[in-house]
Structure 1
């Protein structure tokens, strides 16, 4: 079975355990000023991502991330696939693209990958996909009064669908929204040996930012160096146990 859902600290009821996983440059950038696909992590980081992906029931990622890569990450390792089968999970997690506009190119290779595909969008964004295939589910998200996704409600619905662990794969705007909603329980960061710079280069958490007294706080649970990269695992202070 999948990992047990944990009680949310930010809303009543239960929700999935939410893990964000990102690779960044040594100066804290996840891409350059052009939004180029961040292919700088090593094979070690790719294996690490696959291992984390294999624990998830669903993934969340923004439309900008999909546009940059054109694809999504897959679980390919036979041992990891066998473990998912033993846990009675499907071979691949459900891949949920977050896009308010729904403006995603329908001929992207993503739509030919062997994954369940959902679109989390608005009423207007859903209109783009009314007459064309591609997504197994077009989900009109509950919206807060400020026009932002109502993440606690979305996650509670995922829990009712049996999803106990959600992996967030970027980008910075999506992570910022989830951080602001206080629903990220765990953070994996890979620090890669390059400097990107640029005032407008995206970071792991963009958005409007937080004041120092309101900044989300994390506790370092583990660190590991492989080659020239450092793998850091943080747990949100006050959150439940991490999912292995």
Structure 2
């Protein structure tokens, strides 16, 4: 599978108790400047970023590459200044007036046949709209990732939310996790976590290999690789 899709890395900040937002699902702005710089570097290293409609609704915007050195590296590598920002959504129901649609980035939409009808005649919002559906009408993320590989997108950053990450983990579509542990406790049974969905039994859970640990002031940056039988 890994040979036929981009390399995928989940990049998320979470509280010390493993929450990526509070019980109101407010935008998670508890990360430090170092965490934001780390996120920007991961975005800059990617050909595209993928995030769910819930994440877009919460923030109303996305993080662009603005650091001069990162921009220079992308240009020297023959890349566009900004990676493609891809929204994945079943319904494609979000506000066209959010700041995201005014940001100077290439925007793509991955959705269903029903979701695509909302935006197909509004080309000023998305440069490309993709429909990849399973027989049950769900988005076929694996097929879409294979398509990305066919158009030379080799590295994909996945920025949440938890439902998207869960579905990709269940389909064995994630290669790495970059997790920033921030010094606060959010709690709450309804507060979202990095990986939601139905969960895994302990004996069937995906296993990770710790590649790097770095502390910057009060935050801890963890880098994991998803282990597979051939790793």
TM-score of the pair, normalised by structure 1:
0.91
Q: Which moved more, 1:182-191 or 1:204-213?
A: 204-213
Mapped to 2, the partners of 1:52 and 1:239 lie a distance apart of 26
CA displacement 1:170-225 (0-9 Å, x = unmatched): 10011001101101001000000000011010000011111112211110000000
Does 2:129 match 1:134? no
- Report the more deviating stretch, 25-34 or 129-138: 129-138
Q: Distance in 2 between matches of 1:239 and 1:73?
A: 35
Query: Partner of 1:160 in structure 2?
Result: 150
Report matched runs for 1:103-114 at 5 Å: 103-114=93-104
Which of 34, 37, 40 is the aligned partner of 1:50? Answer: 40
CA distance in 1, matches of 2:14, 2:70: 25
Quote the Cα distance in structure 1 between the aligned partners of 2:137 and 2:170: 14
Query: Which of 67, 77, 81 is the aligned partner of 1:87?
Result: 77
- Name the SS of the counterpart of 1:128 in structure 2: helix
Alignment match, 2:218: 228
Deviations 1:90-138 (A, max 9, x none): 0000000011101011011000001000111001111111332301111
Separation in 2, partners of 1:156, 1:181: 13
Please state if 1:184 is matched with 2:178: no
SS at match of 2:126: coil
Residue 65 of structure 1 aligns with which residue?
55
- Tell me what 2:7 maps to: 17
For this pair of structures, how many residues does the alignment match?
A: 230
Partner of 2:87: 97
- Judged with a 3 Å threshold, the aligned counterparts in structure 2 of structure 1 residues 240 and 183 are, in CA distance, closer, same or farther, namely farther
